[in-house]
């Protein structure tokens, strides 16, 4: 028993020793990695770069930055690196004593401390690098900027006349750029390289803006001092020529607008002189647009005059022709009223078109008067003529319809009278058709329809005899008579066909009467309806029902034979 306990104890000890060994190895690996990172940081050339910069002559902003970088390095050397060494030793000690939790905390602290040192060293080295290269960059920017300044001054000396009144402003701004360059030289000599860089970059941008403005200014000055004034002068000359040529142009308020546009041109020129080039460009575009609109308005008047000359007489002729047609229509209405009844609505339609025609005549006279007095723009006269012409077309269509309705009254009357006689003849033909069928009698229903038909024709003839003739009443009675005729025609055909079919069915069924008492009784009923009350349809229904009970499908054969006959 003791032997087994001893073996178990030995196994546990070996396991614990192995685990401890593995954990110590893991921690030492991490500690070694962190120490390598520390050594790599130690080897970075911060001191060498600080020494290079220290040899430069530094002042102002550059000197302050250098002192901040050196202070930061001193902190790293005197505090942060010693702290790193101390924590490294603690991590190794805790690892040796198997205090793995504390060792892990030490290692985490080390990582954070190394990250802080790396970040501060990067800031120092990047700043030193920028400072060391800024002198070279400044020299390059300075040469280019000085050359640009010299070139722009040559342009002003040789082509300054193109800049007109803006020349003093550009000379002053070039002098300001030159002052900035001189300030750059002073700062460079003093060793303030960073502030010097800001100054030279600012001077470069100023010259770029000035160069762009100097390129645009001559064109803008030409627009405001030559082009636009000439266009306004030409516009005024054209306006005066048209006024002297008989055009009415007061609606354009030209004098007022010409003064306003002239002031706008002066305003645009002032903006160019003040260096507000973008605003000047916008205003120049607006002025050009307004001048073009004036030209469009004048051109419209020229076209309108041509239209008026071509269409004045045709519109006048159309107006007179329609007045004559309207007068004839009035006479026609008077004549028709003696024979036919004309509704208030129809009269109102004519009176409305007549009033509209009179209104157009008045509008045309007023337009001609203004034209002769030269007190209306041709464009307004053109619109008035177009409106009168369109309204005359509408009036013509409306009055043509009224005239057609009047003419149709007589036509409808004649047709109605002829149709009365036609319908009378058709009733006689229907009666003859029934007579030829040699029926035992005529059903009461047909006689009632015939009576109603004659009543409808009588009412129609009566309405045709009214004076004045009311065609609406005639049309109503006419429609009733047509419907009655259609109904009675269908009924006559039905009576004749049903009677013939009943006879055929009874004749066919007679072969079964002797042997089928029920059939015989039903056929007797059918014969009674046929001969006594003349209900041929009822008789047919009874006979067919009885026959189908004896012989299914017999009626279809009878119908087929009837159709073939």
Q: Does residue 206 lie within any of the structural domains?
A: no
Domain contains 142: no
- What is the pLDDT at residue 557? 81
Contacts of 487 (CB under 8 A, 6+ apart): 449
Does 99 reside within a domain?
yes
Residue (of 270, 266, 262, 151) closest to 214 by Cα position: 151
Same domain for 131 and 274?
no
291 and 393 share one domain:
yes
Rounded to an integer, what distance in angstroms lies between the CA atom of residue 23 and that of residue 447?
A: 129
In this prediction, residue 485 carries a pLDDT of 80
Q: Which residues contact 561 (CB under 8 A, 6 or more apart)?
A: 504
Peptide bond into 37 cis (omega under 30): no
385 and 510 in a single domain? The answer is no
Burial of 500 (0-12, 13-18, 19+ CB in 10 A): middle
CA 400 to chain centre: 43
Please give the Cα distance from 30 to 100 (Å, whole number): 12
- Residue 50: the pLDDT is 56
Q: Are residues 363 and 494 in the same domain?
A: no
Q: Which domain holds residue 515?
A: 438-564
382 and 472 in a common domain: no
Judge if 301 and 386 occupy the same domain. Answer: yes
Tokens 């002729």 identify what position?
A: 317
Taken in order 495, 497, 499, 502, is the CA torsion positive or negative? Answer: negative
Identify whether residues 458 and 390 lie together within a single domain: no
> What would the DSSP string read from start to end of 55-85?
TS---HHHHHHHHHHHHHHHHIIIIIHHHHH
**56 and 112, same structural domain?**
yes
264 and 283 Cβ atoms separated by less than 8 Å:
yes
Q: Is residue 168 part of a domain?
A: no
Question: From CA 429, how far away is CA 450, in angstroms rounded?
Answer: 12
Residue with tokens 């893991």: 26
Is 225 inside any structural domain? no
pLDDT tens, position by position, 504-553: 888 888 888 888 888 888 888 888 888 888 888 888 888 888 888 888 88
Residue 323 domain flag: yes
What are the residue ranges in the chain where pLDDT is below 50?
13, 15-18, 20-21, 55
Q: Is residue 426 part of a domain?
A: no
Give the whole-angstrom CA distance, residue 112 versus residue 83: 12
- Do 368 and 453 sit in the same domain of this protein? no
CA–CA distance from 471 to each of 333, 351, 404, 475 (Å)? 15, 21, 15, 6
Q: How far is CA 251 from CA 237, 262, 287, 297, in A?
A: 18, 19, 20, 10
**Structural domains counted in the chain:** 3
Residue recorded with tokens 């060498």: 48
Residues 393 and 466 in one domain: no
Tell me if 189 is assigned to some domain.
Answer: no
CB 405 within 8 A of CB 332: no
Kindly give, in sequence order, each residue whose CB lies less than 8 Å from that of residue 168, ignoring residues fewer than 6 positions away.
none
**Given this model, what pLDDT does residue 271 score?**
84
Q: Are 85 and 8 in contact (CB under 8 A)?
A: no
Query: What is the C-alpha separation between 45 and 84, in angstroms, rounded?
Result: 19
Q: 193, 185, 183, 184: which is closest to 58 by C-alpha?
A: 193
Domain stop point among 136, 160, 191: 136
Among the candidates 115, 136, 157, a domain finishes at 136
CA distance 406 to 267: 72
Q: How far apart are CA 38 and CA 114, in angstroms?
A: 7
* Alpha-carbon span 174 to 171, nearest angstrom: 5
Q: Are 447 and 325 contained in the same domain?
A: no
Q: What is the pLDDT of residue 170?
A: 64
Claim to verify: residue 392 and residue 457 sit in the same structural domain:
no
């Amino acid at each position: 028993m003791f032997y087994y306990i001893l073996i178990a104890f030995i196994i546990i000890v070996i396991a614990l020793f192995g685990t401890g060994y593995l954990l110590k190895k893991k921690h030492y690996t991490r500690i070694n990695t962190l120490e390598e990172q520390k050594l790599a940081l130690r080897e970075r050339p911060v001191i060498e770069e600080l020494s290079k910069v220290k040899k430069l002559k530094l002042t102002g902003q550059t000197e302050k930055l250098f002192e901040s970088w050196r202070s930061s390095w001193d902190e790293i050397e005197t505090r942060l690196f010693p702290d790193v060494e101390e924590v490294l030793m603690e991590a190794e000690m805790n690892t040796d004593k198997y205090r793995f939790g504390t060792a892990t905390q030490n290692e985490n602290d080390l990582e954070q401390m190394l990250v802080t040192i790396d970040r501060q060293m990067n800031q120092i080295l990047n700043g030193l690098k920028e400072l060391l290269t800024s002198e070279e960059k400044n020299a390059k920017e300075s040469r280019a900027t000085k050359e640009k300044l010299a070139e722009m001054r040559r342009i002003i000396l040789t082509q300054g006349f193109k800049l007109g009144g803006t020349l003093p402003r550009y000379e002053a701004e070039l002098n300001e750029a030159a002052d900035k360059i001189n300030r750059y030289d002073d700062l460079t000599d003093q060793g303030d390289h960073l502030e010097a860089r800001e100054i030279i970059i600012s001077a470069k941008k100023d010259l770029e803006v000035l160069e762009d403005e100097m390129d645009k200014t001559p064109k803008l000055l030409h627009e405001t001092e030559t082009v636009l004034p000439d266009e306004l002068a030409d516009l005024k000359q054209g306006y005066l020529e048209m006024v002297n040529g008989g055009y009415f142009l007061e609606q354009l308020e030209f004098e007022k607008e010409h003064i306003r546009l002239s002031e706008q041109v002066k305003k645009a020129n002032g903006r160019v002189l003040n260096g507000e080039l973008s605003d000047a460009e916008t205003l120049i575009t607006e002025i050009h647009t307004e001048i073009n609109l004036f030209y469009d308005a004048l051109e419209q008047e020229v076209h309108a005059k041509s239209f008026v000359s071509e269409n004045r007489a045709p519109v006048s002729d159309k107006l007179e022709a329609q007045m004559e047609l309207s007068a004839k229509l009035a006479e026609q209405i008077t004549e028709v009223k003696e024979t036919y009844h004309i509704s208030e609505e129809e009269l109102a339609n004519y009176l409305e078109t007549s009033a509209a025609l009179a209104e157009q005549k008045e509008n045309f006279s007023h337009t001609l008067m203004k034209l002769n007095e030269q007190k209306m723009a041709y464009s307004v006269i053109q619109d008035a003529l177009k409106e009168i012409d369109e309204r005359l077309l509408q009036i013509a269509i409306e009055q043509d319809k009224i005239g057609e309705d009047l003419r149709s009254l007589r036509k409808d009357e004649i047709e109605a009278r002829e149709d009365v006689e036609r319908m009378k003849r058709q009733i006689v033909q229907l009666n003859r058709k029934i007579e030829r069928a040699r029926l035992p009698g005529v059903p009461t229903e047909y006689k009632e329809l015939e009576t109603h038909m004659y009543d409808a024709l009588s009412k129609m003839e009566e309405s045709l005899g009214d004076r004045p003739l009311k065609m609406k009443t005639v049309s109503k009675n006419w429609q009733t008579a047509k419907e009655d005729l259609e109904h009675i025609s269908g009924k006559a055909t039905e009576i004749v066909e049903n009677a013939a079919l009943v006879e055929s069915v009874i004749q066919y069924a007679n072969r079964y009467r002797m042997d089928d008492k029920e059939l015989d009784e039903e056929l007797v009923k059918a014969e009674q309806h046929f001969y006594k009350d003349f209900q041929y349809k009822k008789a047919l229904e009874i006979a067919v029902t009885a026959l189908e009970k004896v012989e299914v499908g017999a009626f279809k054969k009878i119908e087929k034979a009837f159709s073939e006959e």
